[in-house]
Structure 1
Amino acid sequence: MGFLWRWLFAFGLLAATYNPTAYNYVAWVRDFGAQNLSIAVLAGLLLLIGYIIYLRATLRSIGGFGMALVLAVVGASLWVLYDLGVLKLDNPGLNVWLALLALSLVLGVGLSWSHVRRYLSGQADMDDVDE
């Protein structure tokens, strides 16, 4: 259940930043950011903190190669769904949602990997050991 929450928060972070609807940070700043500059800066800083937490944990746990590998597995899965006719890629809005899904899975796996590794191997990472 922990992975699900980490992944959902990553998806929410990415979707709050940008998505194909009008309800996202990028569209809001573009349309109303000049009138609400202090709120736009605060919201941007809060999003940046979320990205720093996720990216730092992901880079520390699986690294750049692991991120590329998870993204490749997600991409290959989407390719299989496309080849089987389950997925159509003619809708640009759907393509953005799929990209958000893929990136959020990378961040969710990265944030959860230390927990998975500890569960599978019984070994704690050095960051997990209390002194």
Structure 2
Amino acid sequence: MGFLARWLFALALLTATYNPTEYNYVQWVTQYGGQNLSIAVLAGLLLLIAYIIYLRATLRSIGGIGMALILAVVGAMLWVAYDLGFLRLDNRNVNTWLGLLALSLVLGIGLSWSIVRRRLSGQADVDDVDEV
């Protein structure tokens, strides 16, 4: 599973939780969660498990500082795109999608970073398992 798959799953996880459309967990629970409480709880727990897996792997591989640096680089790229006139920030929905993309990049890079570091340096992390 390459970086693209990890990033797309992170994006799917974030957008399944919240996005500017009406098709997300937050909107569904707000409108219909009381009628389907057991399904709402099950879906929420599944989302929570996925977030724990992604956040734990990201924090272990790049840490809080690495997460902040990736967000800073993405923010700087958005700033450049805004300054050059490629991006306008007056649309709230576009801003939400940009935030989701930025967060999904952090999670995707975080989940892939140990693999990239091992390939670049040849050194395995202490908690890595031998691969066949």
TM-score range, shorter chain: over 0.9
Which consecutive residues of structure 2, in runs of 5 or more, have no partner in the other structure?
none
What do the CA deviations read for 1:85-105 (whole angstroms, capped 9, x no partner)?
Answer: 001111100000000000000
Q: Distance in 1 between matches of 2:115 and 2:35?
A: 44
Match in the other structure for 2:27: 27
Q: Distance in 2 between matches of 1:122 and 1:67?
A: 23
RMSD of equivalent CA atoms: 0.8
Aligned to 1:42, what secondary structure does the other structure show? helix
Q: Distance in 2 between matches of 1:78 and 1:24?
A: 25
Q: Shift of the alpha carbon at 1:71?
A: 0.5
Q: Distance in 1 between matches of 2:27 and 2:126?
A: 41
Q: Shift of the alpha carbon at 1:49?
A: 0.4
Q: Shift of the alpha carbon at 1:129?
A: 3.7
TM-score by length of 1: 0.97
Task: Calculate percent identity across the aligned residue pairs.
Answer: 80
Which consecutive residues of structure 1, in runs of 5 or more, have no partner in the other structure?
none
Q: Shift of the alpha carbon at 1:48?
A: 0.2
What do the CA deviations read for 1:70-121 (whole angstroms, capped 9, x no partner)?
Answer: 0000110111111110011111000000000000000001000001101111
Equivalent pairs, count: 130
Q: Distance in 1 between matches of 2:127 and 2:83?
A: 42
Q: Distance in 2 between matches of 1:118 and 1:41?
A: 38
Match in the other structure for 1:95: 95
Q: Shift of the alpha carbon at 1:126?
A: 1.1
Q: Distance in 2 between matches of 1:28 and 1:58?
A: 28
Q: Distance in 2 between matches of 1:39 and 1:79?
A: 41
Deviating 4+ runs (over 2 angstroms): none
